[in-house]
Amino acid sequence: MTVDTLSNVSHLLASLGLEADNPGAFAGTWIPTHGERVVSLNPATGEPIAAVHMASVDDYERVAAVSLDAFREWQTWPAPKRGEVVRQLGEELRRHKAELGHLVSLEVGKITSEGLGEVQEMIDMADLAVGMSRQLYGLSMHSERPQHRMYEQWHPLGPIGVITAFNFPVAVWAWNAMVAAVCGDSVIWKPSHQAPLTALAVTRIADRVLKANNAPPIFNLAFGGRAGVGERMVADRRLPLISATGSVRMGREIGKVLADRLGRGLMELGGNNGILVTDDADLDLALRAVLFAAVGTAGQRCTTTRRLFLQKGIAAEMKRRLVDAYKSIRVGDPLEPGTLMGPLIDETAVTNMLKAIDTAQAEGGKVLAGGKRIDRPGFFVEPTLIEATVHMPITCEETFAPILYVFEFEDLDEAIRMHNSVPQGLSSAIFTLNMRSAERFLAATGSDCGIANVNIGTSGAEIGGAFGGEKETGGGREAGSDSWKIYMRRQTCTLNWGTSLPLAQGVEFKVGE
């Protein structure tokens, strides 16, 4: 075991500007908060790391007021100048990559490479956003009226509310905050109650960069529960956009409130991701991809592979390889070299996983590997492989844990129907060496997910593409491509540079004739 001693944890927190007890609100400066004291636990041991005092609704009001004032100034900065501030933020994150990655691993149980990878994702998002700051393009259109010019331009939208989940405690903030910043928006961040320390550390780093550039306090934070701060943020008409990552149930609740006030919602909700493996697939490649996508982050990614569809010709062989591989997965301290799977986030996650396994067995599923809790401190479980059929209702649900349901299919059309039969639609993949099968999967009548891959797994999306899904996944898009448009308002402009006033569509309106 290499779980850090309390003294090492204290040294790590101090290096990031954190103490044993931390205020849970930032509005250009740290606000003393006196709400509920929430202890952040190390899921590998169940022991406390540090505590944070939640913000109250009054604290949130101070944060929102500062964010609105900051937006009013920030939107006047030229976009490339805003990009320069974001570039410097990326450089500051680079300087603290090791400490931040360590803290991510401590607080949410990711193995070391994944903790560091999450910080790298923030850095990469800063680089991507810097490029965006010079490419916030509008279109030019030809007018049907003589001596008229038409074009569109994009303006900053306003303060943005960002609600993040524990499984990517800082990367998802970066997907939103880096892009929103170059678009001219300010951000209020409500992090997960299970991962407040990483949010506090990143906010401190961002604040130093802003102050060094005499920039307004555009990166603010309000740590609170779903009731209180969360409800107030979602209902706040000063925030034209709420970006929320979490469960489908949470998304439905937020969506109702936003619809009532006609606010925008960027939803990244549940995933029930599937991989299809055909008879002609490279099984070595497929095996490696399935293992990372199903077991990585202990099955606690929204893009985790939860359903595996095997064509009958290779099904027996692939199952045999999977069972052998699952038995060899090293589960343990996420900071120890060689560990492939760390703990679940908390006791509730363990309980939910064991209940899902019991339900699957009651519905006719057969456990091929794993299926148990590991008897040691912390929240460790065995990665679990279950032989399933499409008639098992549990396979249509997302259990946020390392459970992989395995199905068999005859032909590709049958597999696609099975794959698309669930209410979620985030990520998907097919392993095949047949071009026609690949194109069939990518066609409009193929995968119904927001992400569709060929010969790579469902996890590990690159930031250059727009990330998000369809159906109950919420329809939101973050990170690359043209995702920046959600953080801005579009304005269509028409200039008449002539002396007459022709109307569109040939309409005539002659006064006095």
Q: What's at 409, amino acid-wise?
A: F
Of 159, 245, 229, 173, nearest to 206 by C-alpha is: 173
d(CA 351, CA 355): 6
Question: Do the Cβ atoms of 490 and 475 come closer than 8 Å?
Answer: no
| Active-site residue flag, 268 | yes
Element (H, E) at 210: helix 196-212
Q: Catalytic residue among 107, 118, 121, 302, which? A: 302
Q: What's at 96, amino acid-wise?
A: H
Strands (E), 354-477: 366-369, 384-387, 403-409, 424-425, 427-431, 451-454, 466-467, 470-471
DSSP string for 437-452 = HHHHHHSTTS--SSEE
213 backbone dihedrals φ, ψ, rounded to 5°: -105, 10
Of 30, 63, 39, 28, nearest to 196 by C-alpha is: 39
Tokens 């006047």 sit at which residue? 76
- CA angle 300–304–310, rounded 5-degree value: 145
| Active-site residue flag, 302 | yes
Q: Catalytic residue among 107, 114, 268, 398, which? A: 268
Which of the residues are catalytic?
Answer: 268, 302
